[in-house]
Amino acid sequence: MTAGKATHGEPPAGSRPKLAVWKFSSCDGCQLSLLDCEDELLEVAEAIEIAYFLEATRAVVEGPYDLSLVEGSITTPDELERIHQVREASHRVVTIGACATAGGIQALRNFTDVEEYMSVVYAHPSFISTLDTATPVSDHVEVDFELRGCPINKIQLLEVISAHLNERRPEVPGHSVCTECKLRLNVCVMVASGTPCLGPVTHAGCGALCPTFSRGCYGCFGPMETPNTESLEASMEALGLGDPDIVRMFRTYNAWAPAFRDHSRLVELRMSEPAASPTGREDPA
C-alpha cells in the first residue's frame, strides 16, 4: 500500500476528493455492490477520483485519501497492522458490510477455540498466521461511519459517498426490517405462518427481501438502533423454538454485533445451567 499521511481535521488538497476502497477478510460482496451501481458509479467517478480500488482497477494513486471505504474484518496480524496504515492515510474512514462492522460470519470463531479448529482443518497449522478473534474495524481504529449489510445496499452506499461530498451526516434509517415490511404491505410471517424471523431486531436496508418471499429475516443488516432481543426471544419460544435454535438464529452474519452476541451468550449460559426438577430442586443428573 502506498499512502501518505492525512490529518483527521482537514482533507488532503486536490482537484477532486480521493476515494480508496480497501479489502480485509471478506468475500468482496460489498465492493461488488459499489461496482453494481453502474450508471451511478460513472457519476461518482466524475465527482471523486477513485485512487485505490483493486477490485476495479490496478491503477494506484498515492494517498492521503479523503474517504476510505473498508470492507472486511480484522483476522490476521498483517491486517491489524494494515488497518492502522489505512486510518493514518485517510481523512474519513467508513466501514461497509457485516464483516467490517461486526466481524462477519468469520467471527463465529470468537465463540470457540481457534487452535482446535486449525488442528482439524489444516495439515500444517503452524503455517497459519491468524488472530484468535475476527473483529470489526472499529475495535482497532476510529471509524467515522458504519454502513451495515451482507451485502450492503448500494443506494445507501451512494448516500454515504454523497454525504461526504456535501459535508453532512449520511441519512441512513435506523429502524427495523418490520417497518420495511409495512411499507411493502407484507403480511407478518411470524404472525401469519409461525415462521421465526429476526426482522423486529434487524436494521433496515434490504427492503424486507426475505419476508417478501415468505421467509424469515436472517439478520443480514445487524441489530437496529434499539433491538429488544428479550421480547423477540419470547416470541420465538412461543413458536416452539428451543434455546439451541435461538442461539443459532442470532449467530449468523452479525454474530459478534454486541446486541446479538450478548443475547446469544445469555441463552447459551442458561443452557449450561443445571436443569431444575418439578419440585424446584436441581436434577442430580
- Asked which of 165, 186, 209 is the last residue of a domain, the reply is 165
Whether 11 is covered by a domain: the verdict is: no
Pairwise CA distance, residues 108 & 173, whole Å: 27
The enclosing domain of 133 has a CATH number of 3.40.50.700
Residues in CB range of 259: below 8 A, 6 or more apart: 201, 223, 227, 229
| Whether the Cβ atoms of residue 104 and residue 71 lie closer than 8 Å to each other | no
As given in the structure block, the three cell numbers for residue 264 are: 446469544
Q: Is 174 left (phi over 0), alpha (psi -120 to 50) or beta?
A: alpha
Q: In terms of C-beta density within 10 A (0-12 exposed, 13-18 middle, 19 or more buried), how is residue 208 classed?
A: buried
Is residue 66 located within the same domain as residue 188? no
Is residue 30 located within the same domain as residue 152? yes
**Per-residue pLDDT, 149:** 97
Is residue 90 located within the same domain as residue 186? no
**Per-residue pLDDT, 43:** 81
Average pLDDT, the chain: 91
Is residue 161 located within the same domain as residue 102? yes
Is residue 57 located within the same domain as residue 144? yes
Handedness of CA 132, 133, 139, 145 (dihedral sign): positive
**Per-residue pLDDT, 283:** 56
Is residue 99 located within the same domain as residue 204? no
Whether 285 is covered by a domain: the verdict is: no
Residues in CB range of 103: below 8 A, 6 or more apart: 73, 110, 133, 134, 135, 136, 254, 255, 256, 257
Is residue 202 located within the same domain as residue 148? no
Of 237, 196, 235, the closest CA to residue 217 belongs to: 196
**Per-residue pLDDT, 9:** 46
- The CA-atom distances, in angstroms, between 80 and each of 108, 117, 135, 206 are 18, 21, 10, 30
Whether 262 is covered by a domain: the verdict is: yes
As given in the structure block, the three cell numbers for residue 56 are: 476495479
Whether 7 is covered by a domain: the verdict is: no
Cα within 13 Å of Cα(271), Cβ side:
12
Return the SS3 of 69.
strand
Of 192, 272, 266, 263, the closest CA to residue 232 belongs to: 263
Is residue 216 located within the same domain as residue 264? yes
Whether 93 is covered by a domain: the verdict is: yes
Print the domain residue range for 196: 177-272
As given in the structure block, the three cell numbers for residue 145 are: 461511519
What is the layout of strands, in order, in the sheet containing 145-147? Answer: 49-53, 18-23, 65-71, 90-96, 145-147
**Per-residue pLDDT, 273:** 83
Q: What is the largest CA-CA distance in the chain?
A: 77
Whether 279 is covered by a domain: the verdict is: no
Q: Convert the pLDDT of each residue in 114-139 to its tens digit.
A: 998 889 989 998 898 999 999 999 99
- Asked which of 165, 187, 222 is the last residue of a domain, the reply is 165
Residues of the chain with pLDDT under 50: 2, 9, 12, 281, 285
Q: Convert the pLDDT of each residue in 67-107 to its tens digit.
A: 999 999 999 999 999 999 999 999 999 999 999 999 999 99
Is residue 117 located within the same domain as residue 184? no
- Asked which of 165, 188, 212 is the last residue of a domain, the reply is 165
Is residue 136 located within the same domain as residue 197? no
**Per-residue pLDDT, 140:** 98
Number of helices (H), then strands (E), belonging to the chain: the values are: 12, 5
Is residue 67 located within the same domain as residue 141? yes
**Per-residue pLDDT, 90:** 97
Residues in CB range of 150: below 8 A, 6 or more apart: 29, 97, 98, 99, 104, 220, 221, 253, 254
Is residue 158 located within the same domain as residue 181? no
Return the SS3 of 95.
strand
**Per-residue pLDDT, 277:** 52
DSSP 274: P
Whether 132 is covered by a domain: the verdict is: yes
**Per-residue pLDDT, 91:** 96
Whether 91 is covered by a domain: the verdict is: yes
Domains identified in the chain, total number: 2
